[in-house]
Amino acid sequence: MKINKEGYWIIVITGLLCLSIWALVYFLIDTHIAIMWFMAAFLLVFWFFVAAFFREPKRVQIHDDELLFSPCDGRVVVTEVVKDDEYIHEEMMQISIFMSVTNVHMNWMPVRGMVEYFKHHHGRFLVAWHPKSSTENERTTTVVRLANGDKVLIRQIAGFVARRIVSYMKPGTEVEQNSVMGFIKFGSRVDILVPKDTELYVEIGDPVIGSQTPIARLKRRD
């Protein structure tokens, strides 16, 4: 299992913390063998669980300019028309995907184009499915201009557990479809805002796989 670089220090620190706790248990209750073995097993499982948060799967990179791919693993929780008041200032179709703590936490770029806008917003840490999490939570906003002139907005959102968002996006750079765009530590949510006439392929409740599941088809602009 390959580990994403964003998890190196957390995994090391967690491992040292688990060793310290086990050493403390060993010196305090060294006569209770059953408890010592239980704590050792519990701490080892916990450490592997933390390491699994940062797993980096090997996936085939798919390219299709007419398709919009899921930016993350998870489950669709929102498909609705909303008004973007941050940058595009138009009504857009929003698709929101919730990432649980058991999902892969990497984020992929759902389209190919040029990064036109990027901003990191400090904010609250409401649960990710809360309606106000898109506008009030800690989040990043990335807007990509496609070759046909359309704009797609991707929003990484921190949740109640997730407190750290990593984005590799920089304005003015070209991005490839399904390339790695960032990481949300310990799960949360990703919103994608696309033109309102986009044809959706998913419904609320559908499971999706990041960089592999087509979630919409973009309209041609001839």
Picking from 106, 103, 96, 94, the residue whose alpha carbon sits closest to that of residue 59 is: 106
d(CA 192, CA 198): 12
The H or E element spanning position 115 is: strand 113-121
Structure tokens at 133: 């999490």
Given a cut of 60, whether residue 130 has pLDDT beyond it is no
Picking from 17, 21, 50, 22, the residue whose alpha carbon sits closest to that of residue 37 is: 22
Is 60 inside any structural domain? no
* 137 plus 192 within the same structural domain: yes
Query: Is 192 in contact with 111 (CB distance < 8 Å)?
Result: no
Is 178 inside any structural domain? yes
Is 62 inside any structural domain? no
Tokens 């248990």 locate to 25
* 21 plus 84 within the same structural domain: no
Is 58 inside any structural domain? no
Is 61 inside any structural domain? no
* 121 plus 29 within the same structural domain: no
Is 222 inside any structural domain? no
In order of 64, 100, 108, 206, 210, the CA distances from 213 in angstroms are 12, 17, 11, 11, 6
Picking from 49, 46, 9, the residue whose alpha carbon sits closest to that of residue 187 is: 49
> 75-95: per-residue pLDDT in tens?
999 999 999 999 999 999 999
* 9 plus 113 within the same structural domain: no
Tokens 């991005």 locate to 175
Is 126 inside any structural domain? yes
- 188 in catalytic set: yes
pLDDT bin (cut points 50, 70, 90) of residue 203 is very high
Domain range spanning residue 43?
Answer: 5-53
**Annotated catalytic residue, options 133, 134, 167, 188:** 188
Q: What is the pLDDT of residue 163?
A: 56
Length of the chain: 222
d(CA 124, CA 157): 10
In total, how many domains does the chain have?
Answer: 2
> 25-46: per-residue pLDDT in tens?
878 776 677 777 888 888 898 8
> 151-167: per-residue pLDDT in tens?
999 999 886 554 578 89
